Amino acid sequence: MRCWVLTLFYLALCLWSTTLPFKICGFNVQAFGEAKASNTRVMEILIKILARCDLSLIQEVRDSKGVAIPSLVRSLNRFDKSYSYSYLESKRLGKKSYKEQKNVVQLKDHYLYPEPEDGGANDTFSRHPFIVRVHSPATLVKDFVLVGHHTCPKHAMKEIDELYGVFQEISKKWKTQNVMFLGDLNAGCTYITVKGWRSIRLRNDPKFNWLIGDDADTTVREKSHCAYDRIIIHGKVLNSGIVPGSAKPFNFKTEFRLSEEEALEVSDHYPVEVDLKPSHRYFLRNEL
């Protein structure tokens, strides 16, 4: 798995019923670019996956010409015209020949976690977390922060640990405790040792709730069983706003009756997802 890839933070906001939960997804699409976007069969499956979600973090987007994501958004909007999907780009990120790009839409504020003052010589992150402040009037939790991150496998332990510092900065900057981390953290199998787990602050502080557990499998290949992709939340309000038992990988291979070969054309990862409870007060006011 390469460290230096394009990443997209993609937000799909739709006109959804307030009686339904608000689904947040994180999906490493594996080298999503012009070639994959032109594959009709792959795009049909990808659209079905993403159309289930109200907000999606999409990772491993390699789109130097800038055509894959606009094509995906147009296809999503044609798939169900009662929904409206959009995105907002930030600058590309990364340190070597591959760059990252993270996109987001309809937010109160956002920023890229800053590099150290030494110009990055002692930087922990291969790609800096992209931080988004969201307001959601139709869910029980109204305001929360999303942190999209994709670790470099060989530095996964250090990067996950440093997300604790990211949380501290967010808490100070925006005066909030309600923060969700999501993405391909490479948080499993050989990338994290037993000793490594004990040193990760984000793991050992009981206030952080790891919604996707170590026994989950977020990989498509039958020969692997690793919980690489995670959703981690902090904050009493955000915890109380989660639909119990909704956090899980979405096995699109089984759901759409695909062979392993067909599923791998889409990605070698399953998306992870979690639902936010709808606001009953908001719903009742609209019923009057």
Identified catalytic residue from 110, 149, 150, 269:
150
Query: Active site includes 150?
Result: yes
- Which pLDDT does position 282 carry in this prediction? 44
Vertex 4 angle, CA 3 and 10, to 5°: 105
Low-confidence ranges of the chain (pLDDT < 70): 1-19, 83, 87-107, 110-111, 115-122, 280-288
Find how far residue 57's CA is from the centre of its chain. 4
Q: H or E element: which one contains 158?
A: helix 156-174
- Which pLDDT does position 70 carry in this prediction? 77
- Which pLDDT does position 33 carry in this prediction? 79
pLDDT digit string, tens, across residues 111-145: 677 766 555 545 788 888 888 898 888 899 999 99
- Which pLDDT does position 120 carry in this prediction? 52
**Spatial separation of the C-alpha atoms in residues 28 and 174, rounded to whole Å:** 28
- Which pLDDT does position 17 carry in this prediction? 47
Classified by CATH at the fold level, domain 8-287 comes out as: Deoxyribonuclease I; Chain A (3.60.10)
- Which pLDDT does position 122 carry in this prediction? 56
Query: Active site includes 269?
Result: no
Identified catalytic residue from 60, 100, 159, 162:
100
Taking the domains of the chain in order of start, what are their residue ranges?
8-287
pLDDT digit string, tens, across residues 193-243: 999 999 999 999 999 999 999 999 999 999 999 999 999 999 999 999 999
- Which pLDDT does position 200 carry in this prediction? 97
What's the pTM? 0.85
Residue carrying the six token digits 């089984």: 254
